[in-house]
């Protein structure tokens, strides 16, 4: 019962944070709302007994991508102007409404059988051993870290004063 309440609280907070990403005018506040949305997704993973996905969500998205977004905002000169209005707001709203309708239709008309109970023991250690142990994917993780570092250095070089 407590997991269901936590799931719904996280889902509501996540949707509100996602709406904040869309509707807030200040770009920095939008980035903070994005971080909150990504954290709630990690919380939802935890309520679904997906420990490893929650850890990856926090490390990659909250830890890496969010820091890059905030760094890019800090290095931008005209942050105080915020999001500008454009002509594509109404077509974008129509496309999003149609997509939402399709997703809701698919969700409501799909049989969602639960085949097995959630694991009783944490899966993080097993999955981490498979990913980072012998014959794992450590090279891909190192390449991703190098790419993030290159993106940060490239952003600094692009916006520095001449």
Q: What is the pLDDT of residues 118-146, one digit of tens each?
A: 667 776 777 777 777 787 777 777 888 88
**Percentage of residues of the chain with pLDDT beyond 70:** 91
Q: Taking residues 112-123, what's their average pLDDT? A: 74
More reliable by pLDDT, 161 or 14: 14
Kindly report the length of the chain.
162
Beta strands in the chain (DSSP E): none
What are the CB-based long-range contacts (under 8 Å, 24+) for 87-94? Answer: none
With DSSP H G I counted as helix, E B as strand and the rest as coil, what are the percentages for the chain, rounded to 5? Answer: 75, 0, 25
Q: Taking residues 8-27, what's their average pLDDT? A: 91
Asked whether residue 6 carries a pLDDT value surpassing 90, the answer given is yes
Q: What is the CA radius of gyration of the chain?
A: 20
Please report how the helices 27-47 and 2-23 are oriented relative to each other, as an axis angle in degrees rounded to 10.
160
Cβ proximity of 82 and 27 under 8 Å: yes
Domains for the chain: give ranges and CATH numbers. Answer: 2-81+121-159 (1.20.120.1200)
- pTM for the predicted model, two decimal places: 0.64
More reliable by pLDDT, 100 or 83: 100
Q: What is the pLDDT of residues 48-99, one digit of tens each?
A: 888 888 888 898 888 888 887 887 777 776 656 655 667 787 888 899 999 9
CA 117, 123, 129, 135 dihedral sign is: positive
């Amino acid at each position: 019962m407590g997991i269901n309440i936590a799931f719904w609280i996280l889902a509501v907070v996540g949707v509100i944070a996602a709406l904040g990403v869309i509707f807030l005018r200040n770009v920095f506040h939008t980035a903070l709302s994005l971080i909150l949305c990504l954290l709630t997704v990690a919380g939802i993973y935890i309520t679904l007994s997906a420990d490893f996905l929650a850890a990856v969500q926090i490390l990659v998205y909250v830890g890496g991508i969010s820091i890059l977004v905030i760094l890019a905002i800090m290095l931008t000169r005209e942050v105080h102007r915020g999001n500008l209005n454009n002509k594509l707001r109404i077509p974008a709203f129509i496309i999003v409404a149609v997509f939402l309708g399709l997703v809701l239709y698919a969700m409501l008309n799909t049989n969602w059988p639960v085949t097995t109970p959630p694991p009783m023991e944490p899966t993080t250690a097993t999955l981490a051993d498979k990913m980072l142990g012998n014959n794992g994917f450590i090279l891909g993780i190192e390449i991703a870290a190098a790419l993030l570092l290159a993106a940060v250095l490239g952003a600094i070089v692009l916006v520095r004063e001449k």
